[in-house]
Every structure is written in C-alpha cells, then in structure tokens.
Amino acid sequence: MDDISTQLLALQEQKLLRQRRIVDGPQGPVMTVDGKPFLAFASNDYLGLANHPALIAAAHEGIDRYGVGAASSALVSGHSRVMEELEVALAAFVGMPRALHFSNGYMANMGIIPALVGAGDTVFCDRLNHACLIDGARLSGAEFRIYPHNDITRLKQLLAKNTSPRKLIITDGVFSMDGDIARLPELLALCEEYDAWLLVDDAHGFGVLGPQGRGSLAHFGLASPRVLYMGTFGKAAGVAGAFVAGDATLITWLMQRARTYVFTTASPPMLASALLATLKIFETEYWRQQHLQERIQQLQQGLADLPWRLLPSQTAIQALIVEDNQLALDLMAALYEQGIWVPAIRPPTVPKGTARLRISLSAAHSEEQVEQLIAALKNVAKNIIPDSRSGEDDEMLK
C-alpha cells in the first residue's frame, strides 16, 4: 500500500492526478456540474443525440418489450430480435455484408484483434492509436510494430520486410486526441500490395464523417473485403456499445472466437432499440452533421490569433496544443471560473510535451455558444500571457 501511495503522490506532483466531476441531469451543451451550470465542450456527444427525445422514446419502448437485462451471453439465450435487427441495419448502413454487436468499443478491439492474429503474425499500429487497439494487439501475442503517426512510407518499409503469414494494420479512423483522419486510401492500397487486413476503429468518425454519417470509409468511398470497420455507439450515436462490420466469413469467425463477445453478457436489448432510432436520425436529420461542420469552421476562424495552435482537423475534435501540463490545467481552470468546461488532456493520454485543451464540438452547440468559448479563450490568453498579441509569439512559448 505504501508503494501505491508514493506513486499516487508522484502523480499529484507531476500534475497528472485525475479527478472526476459529478454531473447532474442529461448530457448537453449546458450541463450541471458539481451543482452549477456549465457551457460544456467536454463530451463526445457530437450530434447531440445522448438526450434526443426519439432515442429516449425508443429506449422506453425497448424496456416495455424486453425488460432491462439480456441475462445471458448472446450465444446462449441473450440475442434478442431487436439486436438482430440492429446488426442487419448496421451492415446495410455502412455498406458491408455483415455486422456483429459488442458491449463497447474497448471490448470489441480486445476481442477482434486476438481472434484474427496470434504468435508468428504481425500487427502494424499507428503511434497515436487508441489504448484499446494497442491493448488488443498486445493481448494477441502477435509481433507488434508501431509506425509514426500517419507515416505511410515508414509503414510500407515495415510491411516490405515482413514475412508473417498474417498481417493486420490497425488504425483509428479519426484520431481521438488530434481529430485528424487516417490516410485510409493509402492504407488500403498497402493492404492490397502486401496481402494484409485493415482494422479501422471509427469511434470518432461513425455518425460524423461520410454521407449521412456512414463513417470514415464512406468519407473516402472505400470498400474492400480486407477491411474490418469498427464503430462505437457511446459517441455520435448517443447511446453505448460498439460493432464491427466486414466480410461475412470474418464476422462469423469473430462471433465464434472473439472472447469478449463469447464470454460476456449481451447488452440490454433496449440499447438496440435506441440505436435503431439513432440510425434513422443519421439518415433523416443530416442537418446535424452540417451544423457541426459550421461550428468547426467558426471555431477555427475565431481562434486563429491565439498564441497556441489548433491541430488541423475537420472533425468535432479540436485540439489546442499548449504543450505544458500546468499551463493546460491553468487554462482549464480559468475557463472553468467563467462557467466553461473544456478538458485539459495530458500525458500519458497524449505524448509528452503535447498537453492540450481538447475542445469537443457538437451539433447541439449554438453559434452563440461557440462564440462565447472563443471570446473566453482570447480573454484567458491575454491574462495568462500578458504580452501575447498574435501567433508571432509562438516561438517564445516553446
């Protein structure tokens, strides 16, 4: 125990100790946090669906029909008709032969990767991939090769000298802390050239990118039996859970062998009811994706003069890089004082020296709310760095 206490103290000294804030009421642009209202840019509810009346109604209906628990693994007695309908609808939505539902994204990746590759095979992993892709790859026992972020040239070199019977490239579709999109056309071309599979984790692209939110593959117009497309439902879809879609044989195999599918209780059917409503909204309320894009443009133009830079991103994730851990915390605290909640993200979630404010935009944010954030950030910048006038001062801050 002393050991752990010392380690906790060390985290505190490095400003890396995390704390949770207690939220009352539903997710939304204005949230009650620790009893007070805050304008929030902190969630992944990119389309504002987490509290959408149609989803709530569908969940109620699901409860009335199926109760609240699935009570068993899907392979025993837990696979409800509404879940079957959801899988069929998901496959059609992303334009792939078949889909399989998972309880959440973390478990999906921890199950998919070890079911596909093992000792003697190789997994190729972008350096900025989400933790659960990395953990899934480690668990598989395959060789693990990390390539620099979006570095196709380096990946090609690694593939060219690899002789494994199975090769799997794993990538975020949209990178969760930077907000940029994977170079999927080039990745797929490499898969063709070197006979590899591609697993795309589209936790932040599903619902946001592509026609009607069909995701990052649709954004590029890509389809191939070499691709497994994984999407999650806790972000833009507004609910919880995940799925993987792809070639029918591969999906059948995953149903047999993904241990996080086989050995877990199926998700409550009411979630599938709500998610069928989500898919309808993706298709019928496309204004949400468009409104989100307008807020992204607005933020980028509004913050152009700050002493810190936004990473280039066409997605809801806008990362304002301030580098220093304490500065990131100070900025977060200064905004918090003004009733605005933007999370500071520090190592180990992001590489050392790239601490940032991670601004999450949503279709639920109004133009005025984004304007309020822009004004507050400009104000805070002036107070924290009194002589900062424009981006010319960038070098001084490093």
Q: Which of 167, 219, 235, 365 is catalytic?
A: 235
Inter-residue contact 213 to 47 (CB < 8 Å): yes
Q: Binding residue per annotation — 349?
A: yes
Inter-residue contact 313 to 319 (CB < 8 Å): yes
19 burial (CB, 10 Å; 0-12 / 13-18 / 19+) is: exposed
Is residue 242 within the footprint of ligand PLP (CB under 6 A)? Answer: yes
Choose between 112 and 377: whose C-beta lies nearer to ligand PLP: 112
Is residue 29 within the footprint of ligand PLP (CB under 6 A)? Answer: no
- For the bound state, the minimum distance from the C-beta of residue 292 to ligand PLP, rounded and expressed in Å, comes to 17
**Does 15 qualify as catalytic in the annotation?**
no
The CA-atom distances, in angstroms, between 282 and each of 164, 208, 231, 254, 290 are 40, 9, 14, 27, 12
Choose between 132 and 376: whose C-beta lies nearer to ligand PLP: 132
Answer for which of 101, 204, 219, 288 binds ligand PLP (CB under 6 A) is 204
**Does 235 qualify as catalytic in the annotation?**
yes
Q: Which of residues 355-394 bind ligand PLP (CB under 6 A)?
A: none
Task: Give the tokens for residue 106.
Answer: 């973390």
**Does 313 qualify as catalytic in the annotation?**
no
Is residue 168 within the footprint of ligand PLP (CB under 6 A)? Answer: no
- For the bound state, the minimum distance from the C-beta of residue 177 to ligand PLP, rounded and expressed in Å, comes to 9
The CA-atom distances, in angstroms, between 93 and each of 69, 90, 102, 215, 283 are 26, 5, 17, 10, 9
Inter-residue contact 102 to 108 (CB < 8 Å): yes
* Residue 229: its H or E element: strand 227-232
Q: Binding residue per annotation — 130?
A: yes
Q: Which of 176, 267, 313, 360 is catalytic?
A: 176
Is residue 201 within the footprint of ligand PLP (CB under 6 A)? Answer: yes
Q: Binding residue per annotation — 232?
A: yes
Give the pairing type, strands 340-341 and 36-40: parallel
Peptide linkage before 348 cis (omega within 30 of 0): yes
Rg of the chain in Å (alpha carbons):
22
Is residue 234 within the footprint of ligand PLP (CB under 6 A)? Answer: yes
Q: Binding residue per annotation — 106?
A: yes
Q: Which of residues 53-82 bind ligand PLP (CB under 6 A)?
A: none
Is residue 207 within the footprint of ligand PLP (CB under 6 A)? Answer: no
Q: What is the distance in angstroms between the CA of the first residue and the CA of the last residue of the chain?
A: 39
Inter-residue contact 62 to 269 (CB < 8 Å): yes
Q: Binding residue per annotation — 204?
A: yes
Q: Binding residue per annotation — 278?
A: no
Is residue 232 within the footprint of ligand PLP (CB under 6 A)? Answer: yes
The set of catalytic residues is 176, 204, 235
Residues that bind ligand PLP (CB under 6 A): 104-106, 130, 132, 172, 176, 201, 203-204, 232, 234, 242
Binding positions for substrate:
18, 130, 349
